[in-house]
């Protein structure tokens, strides 16, 4: 949940500036406090405080640090409030060992008690602080820094990614990964970087290594060595070349990453349409031969799974059971069947509950895991039998946008492939579904080009209503839920995405004159019944805002405001409406946040990647 960045170089460059820029690119991982340490002439120089990076930088000039080695951290508090003392780096008693950490040391209380009884003085309430003291303890017993790090980390239980430096080691950073993402970037012979995520060092290098669990990397200027944590043996690793552009990790003229990423959707969808068919076929074949199929995810990915499940089941002829990843083990522990197949969706591939769900399933039954993620080499991929990478490009905004639409598109591609393999519909219809999928980039592009004014007006109209609903039926319940989630995350409004039919069983009691209800209404098989639901809410004084296709007449006429989606009203386009209708609701949340003076890229209490249970 925190962001880690490290640099060690032999070049004449400002490590403070690069480290500061690095954590700014990782700020989406947490932003309640931050800190930087550099090493120079046998001393550590530390600057840290609570608050946002920019504000702390204004106060402390975070980039003004000497030396050729620096570590930087942006925090999302777990153990210990977001205060200056709890921010990272954390140091040992001697002030020579500094560490930055992402994750949780689960057994820190017993380790801390033991260290205190050995005379160690703890300054913070963090779990992190046990690590520098453990290293210090081991060094006092005569171990080298390297051996002390191995010794200390073998005692730590939990999930973590850490980077460690020592005042007397001017050209070494030790990086350790256990279930929390860590990547190493390298400019051969010059500079080596580590970070929680690739975009952090993307402006400097595209050559990187992905650490595996229980691995240590020792970073030196322009070189890196990998070792196994348990055996302490060397590991040979191949570098990968990432072809993301630097631009993709910057705001590129947009006010916020979220807005930029909403606008990047047409391109992201085009790239996703080009995913090799062979990979989709493998996915489809595995689904076809499975006995039971589950789909699991968290947050926005979970909503993508609801839409995807709808599309795939239509053609698969088998029920797909969706399950929130955090519930997977609890609910299936007595009934997970052999020969099941689990589709795991996660844009980051690092959500701990999703990883735990698939890992548990693999340990307890003969299951296969199909993963859809946006991050090559992410943790989830390690437990997977087949992986498809959604070609969204790096997503920095905490609120998932383009990763959502590309996830749904990927699942739709699998669905159509299954339809073809099973011969459940004529070839001409398969072609029409394919055409509809191919049209998604253009539909989204046209919508985004022509409707900003309308969306901003609606936001102004809604401004006084703190609560309202997004309602729909069928596949569009996924859209309603995802729209509601975006509003909660970004605009801090309690907006519920709900089934329009089910809303009669309770939620309708909230409706008063002028209470806004947004209906998501593509003209699919649920449309006629949705007309009835619109009428029920209208009759009670509700203000009806409808998301309809451009040529819609009936629900459009019943509505106070309509948001027109530029797509045909055939069944092929209806099926892909979760992709083409959601940008309107993403924009609604974005502008609602701005209207309230909130920063859409830094929603309160949220982190983009949730690596704690
Ligand atoms: C967090 C993020 C959400 C995201 C969810 C699942 O809650 O704030 O935007 O949808 O995690 O993340 P994943 O990486 O597994 O898709």
Q: Are 70 and 36 in contact (CB under 8 A)?
A: yes
Q: Which residues of the chain have pLDDT under 50?
A: none
Q: What is the pLDDT of residue 493?
A: 85
Q: What is the pLDDT of residue 429?
A: 97
The one catalytic residue in 2, 194, 208, 325 is 2
Q: What is the pLDDT of residue 207?
A: 95
Q: Residue of the nearest CA to atom 7 in ligand 1?
A: 299
CA distance 547 to 565: 7
Q: What is the pLDDT of residue 18?
A: 97
pLDDT digits (tens, 9 = 90+) for 473-513: 999 999 999 999 999 999 988 888 999 999 888 888 888 88
- Please provide the CATH number assigned to the domain covering 448-613: 3.40.50.10490
346 CA from centroid of ligand 1 (Å):
7
Q: What is the pLDDT of residue 247?
A: 67
Looking from the CA of 387 toward its CB, the CA atoms found within 13 Å total 18
Q: What is the pLDDT of residue 254?
A: 87
Three-state secondary structure string covering 282-305 = HHHHHHHHCCEEEEEECHHHHHHH
Give yes or no: 2 in active site: yes
pLDDT digits (tens, 9 = 90+) for 439-485: 999 999 999 999 999 999 999 888 677 788 999 999 999 999 999 99
Closest CA to 301 of 380, 236, 228: 380
The residue extents of the domains of the chain are 3-249, 258-424, 448-613
Longest dimension (CA), the chain: 81
Q: What is the pLDDT of residue 535?
A: 95
Q: Is 341 in the pocket of ligand 1 (CB under 6 A)?
A: no
Q: What is the pLDDT of residue 376?
A: 80
Give yes or no: 445 in active site: no
Q: Please determine whether the domains at 3-249 and 448-613 fall in the same fold group of CATH.
A: no
Coil, helix or strand at residue 543? strand
The partner residues of 371 in beta bridges, in order of sequence, read 344, 387
Coil, helix or strand at residue 400? coil
Contacts of 532 (CB under 8 A, 6+ apart): none
Q: Is 606 in the pocket of ligand 1 (CB under 6 A)?
A: yes
The CA radius of gyration of the chain, in Å to the nearest whole number, is 25
Q: Is 608 in the pocket of ligand 1 (CB under 6 A)?
A: yes
- 519-523-525-529 Cα dihedral, nearest 10 degrees: 40
Contacts of 55 (CB under 8 A, 6+ apart): none
pTM: 0.80
- Please provide the CATH number assigned to the domain covering 258-424: 3.40.50.10490
1 CA from centroid of ligand 1 (Å):
11
CA distance 331 to 109: 31
Q: What is the pLDDT of residue 248?
A: 64
For residue 142, the 8-state DSSP code is T
Closest CA to 468 of 480, 452, 454, 451: 480
Residue in the block written with tokens 């020792």: 218
Q: Residue of the nearest CA to atom 13 in ligand 1?
A: 346
Q: What is the pLDDT of residue 369?
A: 97
Q: Is 299 in the pocket of ligand 1 (CB under 6 A)?
A: yes
Pick the CATH number of 3-249 from 3.60.20.10, 3.40.50.2020, 3.30.420.10, 1.10.10.60: 3.60.20.10
Give yes or no for a cis peptide into 89 (omega within 30° of 0).
Answer: yes
For residue 425, the 8-state DSSP code is S
Q: Residue of the nearest CA to atom 5 in ligand 1?
A: 299
Q: What is the pLDDT of residue 133?
A: 98
Q: What is the pLDDT of residue 249?
A: 64
Burial of 85 by CB count in 10 Å (0-12 exposed, 13-18 middle, 19+ buried)?
A: middle
Q: Is 351 in the pocket of ligand 1 (CB under 6 A)?
A: yes
CA distance 527 to 379: 41
Q: Is 300 in the pocket of ligand 1 (CB under 6 A)?
A: yes
465: Cα separation from own chain's centroid: 29
The size of the chain, in residues, is: 613
For residue 489, give the ligand 1 atom closest to its CA: 8
Q: Which of 299, 375, 384 to mutate to test the pocket of ligand 1 (most atoms within 8 A of CB)?
A: 299
DSSP string, 76-107: --SSS-S-TTTSSPEE-TTS-EEEEEEEEETT
């Amino acid at each position: 949940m925190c962001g880690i960045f490290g640099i060690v170089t032999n070049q004449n460059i400002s490590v403070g500036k690069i480290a500061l820029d690095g954590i700014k690119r990782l700020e989406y991982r947490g932003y309640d406090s931050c800190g930087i340490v550099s090493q120079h002439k046998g001393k550590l120089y530390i600057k840290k405080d609570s608050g946002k990076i920019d504000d702390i930088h204004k106060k402390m000039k975070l980039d003004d640090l000497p030396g050729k080695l620096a570590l930087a951290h942006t925090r999302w508090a777990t153990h210990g409030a977001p205060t200056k003392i709890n921010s990272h780096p954390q140091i040992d008693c001697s002030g020579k060992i500094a560490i930055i950490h992402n994750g949780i040391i689960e057994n820190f209380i017993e380790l801390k008690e033991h260290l205190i009884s050995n005379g160690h003085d703890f300054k913070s309430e963090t779990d992190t602080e046990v690590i520098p003291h453990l290293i210090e303890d081991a060094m006092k017993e005569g171990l080298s820094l390297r051996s002390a790090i191995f010794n200390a980390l073998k005692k730590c239980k939990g999930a973590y990614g850490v980077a460690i430096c020592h005042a007397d080691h001017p050209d070494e950073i030790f990086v350790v990964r256990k279930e929390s993402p860590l990547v190493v970037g390298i400019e051969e012979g010059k500079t080596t970087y580590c970070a929680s995520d690739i975009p952090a060092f993307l402006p400097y290098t595209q050559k990187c290594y992905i650490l595996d669990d229980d691995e240590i990397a020792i970073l030196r200027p322009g070189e890196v060595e990998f070792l196994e944590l348990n055996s302490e043996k060397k590991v040979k690793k191949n570098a990968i070349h990432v072809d993301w552009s630097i631009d993709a990790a910057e705001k590129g003229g947009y006010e916020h990453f979220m807005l930029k990423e909403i606008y990047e959707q047409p391109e992201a969808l085009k790239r996703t349409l080009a995913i090799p068919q062979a990979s989709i076929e493998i996915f489809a074949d595995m689904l076809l031969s499975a006995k039971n199929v589950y789909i699991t995810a968290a947050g926005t990915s979970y909503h993508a799974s609801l839409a995807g499940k709808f599309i795939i089941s239509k053609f698969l002829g088998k029920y797909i059971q969706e399950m929130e990843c955090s519930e997977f083990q609890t609910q299936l522990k007595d009934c997970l069947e052999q020969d099941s197949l689990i589709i795991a969706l996660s844009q980051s591939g690092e959500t701990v509950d999703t990883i735990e769900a698939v890992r548990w399933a693999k340990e307890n039954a003969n299951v296969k895991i199909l993963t859809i993620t946006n991050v090559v080499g992410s943790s989830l991929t390690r437990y997977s039998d087949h992986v498809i990478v959604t070609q969204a490009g790096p997503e920095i905004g905490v609120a998932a946008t383009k990763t959502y639409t590309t996830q749904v598109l990927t699942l739709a591609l699998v669905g159509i492939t299954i339809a073809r393999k099973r011969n459940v519909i004529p070839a001409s219809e398969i072609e029409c579904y394919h055409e509809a999928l191919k049209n998604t980039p253009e539909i989204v592009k046209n919508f985004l080009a022509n409707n900003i004014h309308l969306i901003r007006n609606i936001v102004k109209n809604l401004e006084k209503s703190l609560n309202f609903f997004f309602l729909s039926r069928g596949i569009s319940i996924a859209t309603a839920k995802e729209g509601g989630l975006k509003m909660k995350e970004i605009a801090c409004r309690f907006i519920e995405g709900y089934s329009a039919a089910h809303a009669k069983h309770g939620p309708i009691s909230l409706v008063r004159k002028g209470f806004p209800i947004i209906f998501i209404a593509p003209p699919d098989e649920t449309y006629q019944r949705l007309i009835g639901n619109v009428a029920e809410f209208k009759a009670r004084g509700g203000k009806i805002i409808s998301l309809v296709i451009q040529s819609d007449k009936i629900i459009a006429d019943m509505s106070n405001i309509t948001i027109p989606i530029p797509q045909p009203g055939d069944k092929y386009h209806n099926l892909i409406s979760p992709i083409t209708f959601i940008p309107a609701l993403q924009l609604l949340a974005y502008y609602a946040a701005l209207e309230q003076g909130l920063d859409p890229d830094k929603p309160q209490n949220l982190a983009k990647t949730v690596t704690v249970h």
